A and B are shown apart, each in its own frame.
Chain A
Amino acid sequence: DAGITQSPRYKITETGRQVTLMCHQTWSHSYMFWYRQDLGHGLRLIYYSAAADITDKGEVPDGYVVSRSKTENFPLTLESATRSQTSVYFCASSEVPAGELFFGEGSRLTVL
């Protein structure tokens, strides 16, 4: 089915471990984004990408790494997870600037 999918939906890990959250979209949208959602903070932009091989930092990029070798995939890696990275992570895509953002269902990450 067309859409944007995230995996895993739920993940529990330990402090210091590397974790990768996957995001895949089937629309060939140019723009892709990673947000984290925390109570009291709403959604905060971690990284975004305007096209394959083009990425840029958002509001809260520290501790995260992204790549975009293919238009349809935008993985987010936590190189050494910390408890403060416990959150719900949302991937989103958009066809054009200021256009509608299409969100995945989220990945709930718990760092113990």
Chain B
Amino acid sequence: AQSVTQLDSQVPVFEEAPVELRCNYSSSVSVYLFWYVQYPNQGLQLLLKYLSGSTLVESINGFEAEFNKSQTSFHLRKPSVHISDTAEYFCAVSVGGGGNKLTFGTGTQLKVEL
């Protein structure tokens, strides 16, 4: 079975600074990888996903993540964060071609400060 590890439960960062949220997964087969974002008192929304092809994927609001198969990682980065990026971020994995059961990490709370 696959598992997802988000080592950082909280990441404080100043506005306009860069940020990286770490995600590692364990699976012996091909995987699909996702980042979801949850704003306060809301459900989760898809931020970006990797299914195949280019290992670097981008979101519309400046986030990017790179699939690294050798390191089994899918870290999320943004070169310059904004106050509005304050939210909880969840990494998730599903086995490629194996249905749609996502396994989520425990989440990383990103707090952007002035």
Which residues from chain A sit less than 8 Å from chain B, CB to CB?
31, 35, 40-45, 48, 50, 58, 90, 92, 94, 96-101, 103-106
Please report the total number of B residues contacting A with Cβ < 8 Å: 26
A49 to chain B, nearest CB (A): 11
On whether the beta carbons of B104 and A104 are closer than 8 Å, the reply is no
* A101 contact set on B, CB distance < 8 A: 36, 44, 46, 100, 102
On whether the beta carbons of B101 and A104 are closer than 8 Å, the reply is no
CB-contact partner of A103 in B45, B100, B107, under 8 A: B45
Q: Which of B32, B44, B96: most chain A CB closer than 10 A? A: B44
B68 to chain A, nearest CB (A): 19
B45 to chain A, nearest CB (A): 7
* A42 contact set on B, CB distance < 8 A: 4, 6, 90, 104-107
On whether the beta carbons of A103 and B104 are closer than 8 Å, the reply is no
Expressed in whole angstroms, the Cα–Cα distance for A103 and B36 within the complex equals: 10
* A40 contact set on B, CB distance < 8 A: 106
Chain B 41-59 residues near chain A, CB threshold 8 A:
41-46, 49, 51
